[in-house]
Amino acid sequence: MAMYYLESASTDPTYNLALEEYVFNELPRTGEYFMLWRNHNAIVVGKHQNTAEEVCLPFVRQHNVKVVRRLSGGGAVYHDLGNLNYTFVRDASGGQLDLAAFCVPVVQALHHLGVEAVLSGRNDITIDGKKFSGNAQYLREGRVMHHGTLMFDSDLEVLANALNVSADKIESKGVKSVRSRVTNIRAHLKRDMSVSEFKSVLLDYMIKANGMRPYPLTPQDQEGILALKRLRYDTWDWNYGASPPFRIRKERRVEGCGILQIFMEAEGGVITAFSVRGDFFSTGDPDELGRALLGVRLREEDLSTALADLDVDFYFKNLNRNGLIDIILQ
């Protein structure tokens, strides 16, 4: 079977995930495909995860980190321009997920560069026990899409903060990410190079090892990719609303008010239950405010609209609307 490679000139995560899906669904099944791509700052969450649980929402809002959901399962990962992503699309062998089979060529390419990379655990590639690559797969109708990260020179501080879950207790019915120590490939190279050079060297190795040819995308292909981007990956419903049902307990001490304990349930990113307990001071009945939030999406603008006609200070002394929203979304 012929093998082709595609390079994405875009660093928009919503475009690149749409490109992956388009290659998987629309390009001829008579071929196998390999892609290399990079994203601007983004958190890419697994298909079955709770976005609200995996992402530090105040941090990503403040630092303009995009949050996008992918088709495959697994844990949340951080992307920036110091990270290189790769994708394989081909027929599945035996109809089962087989992560190792796709990781081996990448490990071999890194060995060619003098990097002592090894497969580790369920889906990681590590150097000296430190993770630099997480992998996941999407399988449908005998076809598999395997993709992984290659942290070459990522900002590890931003990574830690963006994926940092607050200390509040979160009870979830979803799948929690496996977190481990991480490293960058660049620190382990025998000869220093930029991420762009690393991408070129890796692609050259893969082309020679697999006899790959370029696959040119047509204007019709681009239209299909942009339609997927617009209808799925640019939407709140997919990136946040596709979260599985979850229960969350938030707790915050508010100066001049007391301790607020917020208990929420949500499904599809929409509040289905909301109550507040604690030793706070209140003039009104907090359950009245809770009823106003039922059916509201867990995003700032929707919460603000739902609370627009309510005096939050009436229910929670010395707390305003923005302060309450901050606690809900923290």
Rounded-to-integer distance, Cα 169 and Cα 223, Å: 44
- Among residues 216, 239, 262, the one where a domain terminates is 239
**What is the predicted pLDDT for the residue at 168?**
42
Could you tell me whether strands 42-45 and 124-127 are parallel, antiparallel, or unpaired per DSSP bridges? unpaired
Same domain, 288 and 180: no
CATH number at residue 293: 3.30.390.50
Half-sphere exposure of 199 (CA within 13 A, CB side): 22
Same domain, 91 and 127: yes
Q: What is the mean pLDDT of residues 286-314?
A: 95
Q: What is the mean pLDDT of residues 96-111?
A: 84
Same domain, 216 and 251: no
Same domain, 7 and 79: yes
Q: Which of 106, 93, 100 is nearest to 122 (CA)?
A: 100
Identify the residue with better confidence: 101 or 298: 298
Total domains present in the chain = 2
- Give me the chain's average pLDDT, please: 89
Q: Is residue 219 scored above 90 in pLDDT?
A: yes
Convert the pLDDT of each residue in 29-69 to its tens digit. Answer: 999 999 999 999 999 998 888 788 788 888 999 999 999 99
Range of the domain at 131: 2-239
Same domain, 84 and 6: yes
Same domain, 130 and 261: no
Same domain, 50 and 158: yes
The share of the chain scoring above pLDDT 90, in percent, equals 62
Same domain, 106 and 58: yes
| Sole residue written with tokens 């997927």 | 228
- Among residues 239, 273, 307, the one where a domain terminates is 239
Look up the pTM and report it.
0.80
CATH number at residue 24: 3.30.930.10
Same domain, 214 and 274: no
Nearest-5° angle of CA 294, CA 295, CA 300? Answer: 90
